[in-house]
């Protein structure tokens, strides 16, 4: 087995070696669904490549992961490194680029990227996950990287002894807040309702943590500062009261949405809220295209789990393999 490492960052377009061949499967997305699909596809003997904007997807921005089989407690970015190491073991190239469109070309698919490259594949597995939601309030962009963050594990150590706030009431907000307590002196959670969406395990930890204070029924109106973020302007949703909260950091953890425009361009059948429709074998409405992970309708909206994405990725590779053998035979190369 080859141990050659092939992560390829393409700033000026990919090499002929990568673009010039017909792949059995191109996986779009490098989160747990895509990486798991790559391992299964490679083990089926399929010529495989991953094209992804970033390695690890949401997991790369997650704090402590405590529910992925085999790891009692591991930081999101460390788990991503383990996934990457596993994919590299099978010599699957990970191409850093953004897929902009996919078109049918006879029995094959053409894949077009932002770098201007074109790839050809017999099948495609879409594992693109979701895009992080933004608050869309004044100051959010101004102070991005100067107090505003979307990645707790990346930025939490910068807030040692400081006061921070996490916006959101789901598992991501809970996980970010708990991670931040390891560094910050005080962690506010700003939540628009009076009940958390986060799983019970997290709720118990948050509600009893001495450093955490939850500001219920509260929304962010504006983020203000000078060269760096200094305060958040907040409003209570029940009384309408507007007030300022002095903070050094604001972590925005308010969920994510699927890239609907991209899916529509490909012509995939989607759910009303823009997720890819698949059957239990991860087959989409287009034969030869499969989907897995957070971007599929099948995955419950409140159960975006790494283990579910990885399982669906494996299933997608299984379906791609069966399709390829049926349609192109074993001696296709
Ligand atoms: P989520 O479950 O969709 O929660 C988003 C939170 O942000 C909700 O509390 C929501 O409020 C709030 N929100 C949404 N839009 C907002 C806005 N414009 N302004 C203010 N607040 C807003 O997203 P998530 O927490 O990122 O989790 C996504 C998925 O990943 C879930 O399936 C979750 O279980 C999973 N996940 C799991 C773990 C784990 O350790 N098991 C860790 C992270 C994520 P409302 O509650 O009022 O809707």
* Nearby residues of 57 by Cβ (< 8 Å), 6 or more positions away: 29, 30, 31, 32, 33, 34, 129, 293, 294
For residue 296, the 8-state DSSP code is B
The pLDDT value given to residue 5: 41
In ligand 1, which atom is closest to the CA atom of 193? 47
Specify the CATH architecture of the domain 16-131+256-328.
3-Layer(bba) Sandwich (3.50)
pLDDT tens for the chain, 333 residues: list them.
Answer: 333 445 555 555 678 888 889 999 999 999 999 999 999 999 999 999 999 999 999 999 898 999 999 999 999 999 999 999 999 999 999 999 999 999 999 999 999 999 999 999 999 999 999 999 999 999 999 999 999 999 998 899 999 999 999 999 999 999 999 999 999 999 999 999 999 999 999 999 999 999 999 999 999 999 999 999 999 999 999 999 999 999 999 999 999 999 999 999 999 999 999 999 999 999 999 999 999 999 999 999 889 999 999 999 999 999 999 999 999 988 887
**Nearest Cα to 93, choosing from 25, 12, 32, 44?**
25
Q: For domain 148-252, say whether CATH 3.50.50.60 is its number.
A: yes
Instruction: For ligand 1, say whether the CB of 197 is within 6 Å of any of its atoms.
Output: yes
Q: How far is the CA of 58 from the centre of ligand 1 (A)?
A: 12
For 205, phi then psi, to 5°, come to -65, -45
pLDDT reported for residue 8: 58
Q: Is the CB of 85 under 6 A from ligand 1?
A: no
CB count within 10 Å of CB 119 equals 25
Which DSSP string do the residues of 47-59 spell out, in sequence order?
Answer: -EEEEEEEESGGG
pTM: 0.87
Residue intervals of the chain classified under CATH 3.50.50.60 are 16-131+256-328, 148-252
Q: Which atom of ligand 1 is nearest to the CA of 195?
A: 46
DSSP state of 277: P
pLDDT of residue 235: 98
Does the C-beta of 255 come closer than 6 Å to ligand 1?
A: yes
């Amino acid at each position: 087995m080859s141990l050659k490492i092939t992560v390829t960052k393409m700033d000026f377009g990919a090499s002929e070696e990568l673009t010039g061949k017909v792949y059995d499967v191109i996986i779009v997305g490098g989160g747990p669904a895509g990486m798991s699909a790559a391992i299964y596809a490679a083990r089926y003997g399929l010529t495989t490549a991953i094209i992804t904007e970033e390695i690890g997807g949401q997991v790369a921005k997650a704090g402590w992961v405590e529910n992925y089989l085999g790891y009692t407690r591991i930081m999101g970015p460390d788990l991503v490194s383990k996934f990457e190491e596993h994919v590299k073991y099978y010599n699957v190239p990970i191409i850093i680029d953004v897929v902009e469109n996919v078109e049918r070309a006879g029995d094959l698919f053409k894949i077009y990227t932002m770098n201007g490259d074109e790839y050809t594949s017999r099948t495609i597995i879409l594992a693109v996950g979701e895009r992080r939601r933004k608050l869309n309030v004044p100051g959010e962009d101004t102070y991005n990287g100067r107090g505003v963050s979307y990645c707790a594990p990346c930025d939490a150590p910068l807030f040692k002894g400081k006061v921070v706030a996490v916006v959101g009431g789901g598992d991501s907000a809970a996980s970010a807040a708990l991670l931040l307590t390891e560094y910050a002196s005080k962690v506010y959670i700003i939540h628009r309702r009076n009940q958390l969406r986060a799983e019970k395990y997290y709720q118990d930890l948050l509600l009893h943590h001495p450093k955490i204070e939850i500001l219920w029924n509260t929304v962010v109106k504006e983020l203000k500062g000078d060269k760096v973020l200094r305060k958040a302007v907040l409003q209570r949703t029940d009384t309408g009261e507007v007030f300022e909260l002095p903070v050094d950091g604001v972590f925005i953890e308010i969920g994510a949405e699927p890239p609907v425009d991209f899916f529509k361009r490909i012509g995939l059948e989607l759910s009303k809220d823009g997720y890819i429709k698949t059957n239990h074998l991860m087959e989409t409405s287009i034969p030869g295209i499969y989907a897995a992970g957070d971007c599929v309708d099948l995955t419950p909206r409140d159960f975006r789990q790494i283990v579910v994405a990885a399982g669906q990725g494996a299933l997608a590779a299984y379906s791609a393999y069966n399709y390829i053998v049926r349609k192109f035979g074993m001696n296709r190369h």
